[in-house]
Amino acid sequence: MNDDFIVPALPSPSRVRAVFTTRHVAVPGPYLRSRLPGEPVWMSQVHGRDVVEIDEHNIAPSLAARPQADAAVTRTAGIVIAIRTADCLPVLLADRAGDVVAVAHAGWRGLAAGVLEATVAAMHIDARDIEAWIGPAIGPRAFEVGADVYDVYCATDASCMRYFAPLREGKWLADLAGLATQRLESIGVASVARGPWCTYTDREQFFSYRREKGEGRMALAAWISPDE
């Protein structure tokens, strides 16, 4: 990691490429664009579970008007798909051969709604052949939630309780990346990489919506390299 970008690392060498911006890069902006092989297709994110597939047939209208979705998939080399985050999880998914890549924006609402399961399903790849990278998001020592969030996960799945640490009456600290990892593993994605980042506490590197209530966002952009 440098001051501008984090390069996601997946275990299997492939044609998949990706970058995650820090707060030092304008999103969108010319500096980010200079690192990409083409203009990125951005999502109009609504904290839901909708996934859009971008290919040569729909890239022009998708560039002209952002698709309403929280995840995107492409199998076409050179097409860049991108999502924005500022505490929510940025998730990169790719098959080991590098034939399909996906990005997903997963806040607690989208994660509970099944955005990661929907993204994996849209890849049309055996989940056991998919590798995931979970990027910087609000960490488990900073993500304070109430009973509404706790109940969404734990009322129907007691195994989720391990990702909620009691804080005080009616409040918990939630491990969003842990919940995402559990969901991915439950559908067969066994290779899940994640780091120690926390967007809320690391104000030097990351925007945080909870901390700043502003418009600043980081971006996860991914593509299949056309050169290999």
Which tens digit of pLDDT belongs to each residue from 87-124?
999 999 999 999 999 999 999 999 999 999 999 999 99
pLDDT tens per residue, range 12-30: 878 999 999 999 999 999 9
- For residue 40, say if its preceding peptide bond is cis, omega within 30 degrees of 0: no
pLDDT tens per residue, range 17-66: 999 999 999 999 999 999 999 999 999 999 999 999 999 999 999 999 99
pLDDT band per the 50, 70, 90 thresholds, residue 1: low
Structure tokens belonging to residue 78: 């050179």
Please report, as a single letter, which amino acid is at residue 155: A
**Model confidence, pTM:** 0.96
pLDDT tens per residue, range 127-180: 999 999 999 999 999 999 999 999 999 998 999 999 999 999 999 999 999 999
Q: What architecture does CATH give domain 5-137+194-224?
A: 4-Layer Sandwich (3.60)
Q: pLDDT at residue 206 above 90?
A: yes
| Exposure letters 148-180 (e unless 16+ CB within 10 A, then b) | ebbebbbeeeeebeebbeeeeeeebbbbbbbbb
Residue ranges per domain, the chain? 5-137+194-224
CA distance linking residue 145 with residue 129, whole number of Å:
34
